[in-house]
Amino acid sequence: RAKALGKARYELFDSTMYAQATELMQLEMDLRHAIEHQEFIIHYQPIILLETYKVIGFEALVRWQHPQQGFVSPEKFIPIAEETGLIVPIGYWVMREACRQLRAWQEQFPTNPPLTISVNISTKQFSQPDLIEQIHQILQETGVEGRSLKLEITESAIMENTESATAMLLHLQQMNVQLHLDDFGTGYSSLSYLHRFPTNALKIDRSFVMNIGVNGENLEIVQAIITLAHSLNIDVVAEGVETVEQLAQLAVYKCKYAQGYFFSKPLNSKLASTLIASGLNFESN
């Protein structure tokens, strides 16, 4: 009996693993299919200048509309795309489409300075030798100026590519493309590279912002990151701001920019256009 049970358990375990592996393989196949069949869209989350409560730009966040499974979260498919290298074509698609959309908005709704777009660059993408060339081409093609494009790169993506990173980042700086360090505070603790690389802004990770009111440690981390940005004379963006209390605390520390559900979830391009057309102002809300 015990033996039978043991075998059954073993088989159960085995079939679960098998199911997981096939699900992953299926997702990978579907992901290849998705590129060809244009199942991706971009949502745009507004980024707000806290001094004026004005929207200064948007972060482009990719969305996958799977034909059978419906919406698949980027948290789920980006790691698969990263592992299989599919992130490279997906990433360039996102950048091209986001820049095309940005240019259309800039023309329709001129502001001073012009609206910006933030695009996430994965570790794999950051290691592509032709990254600079591709970005150059996309900017040319869409008519977007380098200063309107913000690349969101994690500390780990830079640290895993230190050899190529320096040259790459200097090139980007020459093109006036902005470098924003995403999920700041969750990666490497060594801060020495902040001096070495032309960083324009730190994005405080959502996990710290979320717990501002919950425990004092996170509050201190948030304060420390903002102070660090001020002393380096670079910008700082708080991500994942959901409550008025979090916002009030960020204001006390003079955090310059914020982004989060308190202001707006990521919007489809039509809703984002409506927001821009209505004056980009959150103060009246």
Residue numbers at the binding site for ligand C2E (CB under 6 A)? 45, 61-62, 73-75, 78, 87, 91, 94, 120, 122, 152, 182-183, 206, 239-242, 259-261, 266
Question: Which entry of ligand C2E, Mg ion, none binds 48, CB below 5 to 8 A by partner kind?
Answer: none
**Could you give the count of Cα atoms lying within 13 Å of 283 in the half-sphere of its Cβ?**
8
235 binds, among ligand C2E, Mg ion, none (CB under 5 to 8 A by kind): none
Provide the mask over 106-145, with x wherever binding to Mg ion is found by CB under 5 A and - wherever it is not.
Answer: --------------x-------------------------
Indicate which single residue of 30, 97, 183, 235 sits in contact with Mg ion (rule: CB under 5 A): 183
Please say which residue, 187 or 198, places its beta carbon nearer to Mg ion: 187
Residue 9 or 76: the one with the smaller Cβ distance to ligand C2E is 76
The yes or no reply on residue 30 touching Mg ion (CB under 5 A) is: no
Whole-angstrom distance, CA of residue 113 vs CA of residue 251: 23
Q: Can you tell me which of 97, 152, 155, 235 binds Mg ion, judged by CB under 5 A?
A: 152
CB 62 within 8 A of CB 6: no
Q: Any idea how long the chain is?
A: 285
Q: State the binding partner of 260 from ligand C2E, Mg ion, none, CB within 5 to 8 A by kind.
A: ligand C2E
Contact call for residue 235 and Mg ion (CB under 5 A): no
> Minimal CA–CA distance to 88: which of 78, 98, 97?
78
Structural tokens at position 195: 């001096």
Q: How far is the CB of 127 from Mg ion (least distance, A)?
A: 18
| Site for Mg ion, residues 68 to 87, rule: CB under 5 A | none
Which distant-in-sequence residues (6+ apart) come within 8 Å of 159 by Cβ?
A: 187, 188, 190, 193
* Shortest distance, position 255 Cβ to ligand C2E, whole Å: 14
Give the nearer residue to ligand C2E in terms of CB position, either 3 or 75: 75
Note the residues at the interface with Mg ion (CB under 5 A): 120, 152, 182-183, 239
